[in-house]
Structure 1
Amino acid sequence: MTKLAGRHPKWGYRIIHALLVEEGWEINRKRIERLWRQEGLQVPPRRSKDAGQKARGDDENSLWKLPPLRRNHIWSYDFVTRRTDDGRAVRVLNVIDEFTRVALGSWVARSIGAVHVQRHLEVLFERHGKPSLIRADNGREFVADSLREWLTEQGVRAVFVAKASPQQNGYIERFNGTMSRELFGHEIYHSVLEVRHVVNEWTQMYNTRRPHRGLGGKTPAAYAKMYPDTVDPEEDGGCP
Structure 2
Amino acid sequence: MAREGGHLGHKRRYRLSTQTGLNLRMKRPRRHISAAHRAAQPGAAQQGEVWAMDVIAAQLYDGRRSRALTVVDVFTRECLAILVDQRLTGADVVGTVRQISELRGSPDRIGVDNGSEFISKVLDLWAHQCGVTLDCSRPGTPTDHPSTLSFHGRFRDECLNIHWFLSLDDAAEKIETWRGDYNHLRPHSSLEHLAPSAYRARSASTLRPQGPPT
Query: Under a length normalisation based on structure 1, what TM-score does the superposition of the two structures give?
Result: 0.69
Residue of structure 1 in register with 2:84 after alignment: 108
Q: Please list every run of 5 or more consecutive structure 2 residues that lacks an aligned counterpart in the other structure.
A: 1-28, 206-214
Q: Once the two structures are superposed, what CA deviation does each residue of 1:79-128 show, in whole Å capped at 9, x if it has no partner?
A: 12111122211111010110011111111111101011001111010111
Residue of structure 1 in register with 2:158 after alignment: 182
Residue of structure 2 in register with 1:94 after alignment: 70
Q: Taking every aligned residue pair, what percent have the same amino acid on both sides?
A: 24
Q: Once the two structures are superposed, what CA deviation does each residue of 1:186-217 show, in whole Å capped at 9, x if it has no partner?
A: 33211001110111110110011100011111
Aligned residue runs from structure 1 range 14-93, under 5 A = 57=35, 60=38, 62=40, 65-93=41-69
In the aligned structure 2, how far is the partner of 1:170 from the partner of 1:92? 18
Shift of 1:54: 8.9
Residue of structure 2 in register with 1:130 after alignment: 106
Residue 183 of structure 2 corresponds to residue 207 of structure 1: yes
Aligned-partner residue type, residue 176 of structure 1: H
Residue 207 of structure 2 corresponds to residue 219 of structure 1: no
**Bigger relative contact order, structure 1 or 2, given CA contacts below 8 A and separation 6+?**
1
In the aligned structure 2, how far is the partner of 1:224 from the partner of 1:81? 28
Shift of 1:58: 5.3
- Shift of the 210–59 alpha-carbon distance from structure 1 to 2, 3 Å rule, reads farther
CA RMSD, Structure 1 to Structure 2 (Å): 2.0
Residue of structure 2 in register with 1:169 after alignment: 145
Shift of 1:148: 1.0
Aligned-partner residue type, residue 163 of structure 1: P
The question of whether the paired residues in 2 share the 8 Å contact of 1:54 and 1:144 is answered with no
In the aligned structure 2, how far is the partner of 1:201 from the partner of 1:186? 13
- Shift of the 217–60 alpha-carbon distance from structure 1 to 2, 3 Å rule, reads farther
- Shift of the 68–61 alpha-carbon distance from structure 1 to 2, 3 Å rule, reads farther
In the aligned structure 2, how far is the partner of 1:54 from the partner of 1:188? 39
The question of whether the paired residues in 2 share the 8 Å contact of 1:56 and 1:138 is answered with no
Choose 1 or 2 for highest CA Rg: 2
- Shift of the 58–209 alpha-carbon distance from structure 1 to 2, 3 Å rule, reads farther
- Shift of the 73–204 alpha-carbon distance from structure 1 to 2, 3 Å rule, reads same
The question of whether the paired residues in 1 share the 8 Å contact of 2:32 and 2:139 is answered with no
In the aligned structure 2, how far is the partner of 1:124 from the partner of 1:190? 27
**Runs of 4+ displaced beyond 3 Å:** 53-62
Aligned-partner residue type, residue 192 of structure 2: G
Aligned-partner residue type, residue 136 of structure 2: F
Alignment equivalent of 1:148, drawn from 111, 114, 124: 124
The question of whether the paired residues in 2 share the 8 Å contact of 1:76 and 1:97 is answered with yes
How many residues align? The count is 176
